[in-house]
Homo-oligomer: A and B are copies of this chain.
């Protein structure tokens, strides 16, 4: 993803392309593969890779803004920290609790044959499959 696309992405989401947002967006979205992170890990990685230093609150603000805009998704992971994912399409995850690492599973690689219907007046919003790994 090129810088121009990033500016477009931000503007089309109603997000003013500030220096911080552009740098964080470049870091997150200029990748071939899906990227999984927590705020803490992102903070550390940004501190290493970029010259500028962002306030922690800015990282929280930005990640939430990107999530609201649909550019990031949040993943269910047991524990206290929130995990985010640059893959916003419908998909699933392996989770390796040894390394606290998430691995994407393409939606097509899991086929569910039978599923219960939603309770009283509710609808199914989405189905997440979470596969815990062990050694």
A residues with CB within 8 A of B: 74-78, 80, 82, 94, 96, 103, 105, 109-116, 118-119, 121-135
Check if B130 sits within 8 Å of A118, measured CB to CB: no
Chain B residues with CB under 8 Å of A109's CB are 114-116
Q: Is the interface of A mostly helix, strand, loop or mixed?
A: strand
Q: List 20 A-B contacts (CB under 8 A).
A: A75-B78, A76-B78, A94-B118, A94-B122, A109-B114, A109-B115, A109-B116, A110-B116, A111-B113, A118-B131, A122-B134, A122-B135, A124-B131, A126-B131, A127-B131, A128-B130, A128-B132, A129-B129, A129-B130, A130-B130
- Nearest CB in chain B to that of A135: its residue: B122
User: When the two chains form the complex, which single residue of B77, B80, B123, B134 contacts A135, counting CB atoms closer than 8 Å?
Assistant: B123
With A78-B74, A118-B94: A127-B125 Cβ-Cβ less than 8 Å: no
